[in-house]
Chain A
Amino acid sequence: MNFMQRALRHLTRSKTKSLLLTLTFFLIANFVVVGFSISSAAAQAKTETRRKMNPVIAFQVDFDAWYEKYMQLEGDERKNFTSPKPDPERVRKMLADSRVKAADWMRSTVGYADGFEPVPIQRPASNEDDEDALFGTSVVMSETISGSGQQNSQTPDMTMLGVMAPQLTKLADGTWKLASGRMLTQEEIDNGSAVAVIDKRLAEANNLNVGDFLKLKLYSDDEMKAIADPQNNNVLDLEIVGILESGEELSNDELQWASTYSNPANQVIIPQPLYMQRDLELMAQFHQANPKAQETTPEDYNPSSAIFVLNDPLEVDAFREQYGQSMDEFLVMDANDEMYQRLSKPLDTLTVFSDLIVAVVLINAVVIISLVSALTLKTRETEIGVLLSIGVSKVKIVAQLFSEVLITAMLGFILACATGSMIAGRVGEQALAMQVQENQNNSAQSGFIYSSASSDSLFNEVSQEEVTASYHAGVNAVILIQIFLLGIGVVFVSTLIPSLMVLRFNPKKILMSQN
């Protein structure tokens, strides 16, 4: 008869003791199941929140923190305190990560059309009667603002999107489609090749095709006189390698104030190193003529942000964790954290409470079970003495005691899984509703209004209702495993003290003392 058989017989034949112990574990386990279920449901709801959010990470300056620091500085310190930029080496590593679906690492600069016509802005005439506009009865007078082109070379009319990587987010999400040709290659970008991708509307307006050339001036003629010798090469002679079809339009509000260069049709995608090389040459001449002016360095041309879109929303935190180490203190990798934290707050509060309940209950469980086991042991001294006298090892005796407690614990835990699941569902949902209400009240009090990300941002908006709807407290396989592992842990710790007592037992003292 091994220790397990003895344990089973002890449990089945000491029914009252076993029942009381099982009941104790049942009560303890109910609290643990409730705590775990709530905590797990909260974690799951957070995961769902993250899943609903676009998997976007913006590697950029935390301007709030930077400005706060800036305001603390004075004199030269303040003057020299420039905002940091994402370091290219880190960005390149991130770009090479297979989890990245697309990325915008680019710098936009205005330029001047040279020998072609930018697409003009169709600006609506200002409406005197807004009500008419609302009911669509007003006649929208189109006013064509001519692209400056050759007529007015002093006003920028084109936008150069200097890209550092070709896998742009708008191409990936379908906002932009290649109508013909191809996108720039990474090699062309790195080499600063004189190539460009233009908008279809610009191409059609100027009868341009893939393989044709397009000239863009970096500076106006007047600017060139101030910067460097006007005879110097200020023109980028670009071969068109691709034509994009973009549905992008400026809104009516934007059109009221927009300049020609801000027309999406007038965006030309070029390699950023190409722009940098040409501009550096011009700036070097400017510096030669104006030695007191601050020298321009290649670092000045690095983009101020890098936006990454990942394939999987659930990879966002891991990705950020991996690449966000030892960054400049004013740089952040923002994954719409403000919204995520706002949505997660009620869940986090719930998790803290449920974890606290679990911790308190477990500590109590260990103390109670230890005491019960120790007291029970006192009544079983003779049995232990007999077992020792017939040569049963102390390890086997401890194993028997451990098994007895473990079996009752498991029984109590199994029963508690059913009841705890029901309790957790009700308690959890009620507690979450209260937390959400409190969160909303606090937001209202602080004047916080849920703000959606700006229209050109890749971040999306997730409502608190969606998060709450994804919260379902209950027992699942993972919780079951957690509970049973924890149960084993509690039983192990609880039987440790009685076990130590057994190890100190002397069969002679136990058995001979009775005679």
Chain B
Amino acid sequence: MLKLINLNYGYTDGASRRSILQDCSYTFEDGRFYTILGPSGSGKTTLLSILAGLDSAESGELWYNDTPITSAQLYHYRRNQIGIVFQQYNLINYLTGIENVELAMTETDNAVPKNRREIAYALLEKVGIVQSKANRPISKLSGGEQQRIAIARALAANVDLIFADEPTGNLDTATEQEIIRIFKQLAEEFGKTVIVVTHSETVSQFSDERVLLAEGQLHRMNPKKEEAKV
């Protein structure tokens, strides 16, 4: 369970100060697929970076499974608790697909079986990447394939929290559907907590819970009623 308690975050823009999070509290349950929606500039990406341990809130607390995530623990948190999928995929371009996945396995302190390469191939297969493609350089793969590899990399460290920032933003509709299916499967079959920041209605429709970030607060949305509000 990931818990936000009174998180505050903002930045100074010229003479004025802009608040992104204002006493923002929320609880993300295990094994569910969340989508975070919100207007452009509402701070969805900033919120995700705080949840993923890439940045720290100015005040407030972030708890994961009854453990507070302090600044000192961010490396540990990123290495062992979370996986991130970016809109731009952000794979390491001089490594092959399989090596990108293995990289996450090497860095984590979590228990990873010794036959890493086999596990990595299995993970890639699960997200739809066959072995021949897994061994190719990243530059030889399509956007959809790269995003699948990025998802496999996020899973490789045997983590329970998966964050994704506009993961289908650069993909066609068919591939978007496939990625959504993978996220849903991760939550339902493997008990992972998946939190996706998105603009996509398609993606949000398939999530277990839609959350709106507005005026520095997170609001649980009733799909139909809230949709009308937004």
Contacts and interface: CB of A to CB of B under 8 A. Distances in A.
B106 interface: yes
Interface in B88-146: 88, 90-95, 99, 102-104, 106-108, 137
A9 B106 CA distance: 15
A390 B157 contact: yes
A393 B94 CA distance: 19
A291 interface: no
Interface centre among B46, B52, B94, B157 (most CB of A within 10 A): B94
Nearest to A391: B79
Contact of A512 (B49, B99, B102): B49
Interface stretch (A193-201, A461-469, A503-511): A503-511
Contact of B99 (A1, A383, A387, A391): A1
B217 interface: no
B86 A514 contact: yes
A13 B137 contact: yes
A2 interface: yes
B220 interface: no
B76 A389 contact: no
Nearest to B79: A391
Interface residues of A, number: 25
A386 interface: yes
A386 B75 contact: no
What band does the interface of chain B fall in when counting residues whose beta carbon is under 8 Å from A? 35 or more
A391 B54 CA distance: 10
Contacts of A383: 92-93
B88 A507 contact: no
B153 interface: yes
B54 A508 contact: yes
Contacts of B75: 391, 393
B88 A514 contact: yes
A14 interface: yes
Interface in A375-408: 382-383, 385-393
B55 interface: yes
Contacts of B77: 391
B68 to A, nearest CB: 18
Contacts of A392: 79, 107
A392 B153 CA distance: 14
Contacts of B45: 512, 515
A508 B49 contact: yes
Contacts of B91: 386
A385 B107 CA distance: 15
A389 B52 contact: yes
Interface string B155-197: 0010000000110010000000000000000000000000000
B49 A391 contact: no
Interface string A1-32: 11000100110011000000000000000000
Interface in B18-58: 45-46, 49, 52, 54-55
A10 B157 CA distance: 22
Nearest to B150: A386
A14 B94 contact: yes
15 contacts: A1-B95, A1-B102, A1-B106, A14-B94, A383-B92, A388-B54, A389-B54, A389-B90, A390-B78, A390-B104, A391-B79, A391-B80, A392-B107, A514-B88, A515-B169
Interface of A: 1-2, 6, 9-10, 13-14, 382-383, 385-393, 506-508, 511-512, 514-515
Closest 9 CB pairs of A and B: A391-B79, A508-B54, A391-B78, A508-B55, A508-B49, A13-B94, A1-B106, A507-B54, A386-B90
Given A383-B92, A390-B79, A511-B54, 11 more contacts: A6-B95, A13-B95, A382-B90, A389-B90, A390-B83, A390-B107, A391-B108, A392-B79, A508-B46, A508-B49, A511-B49
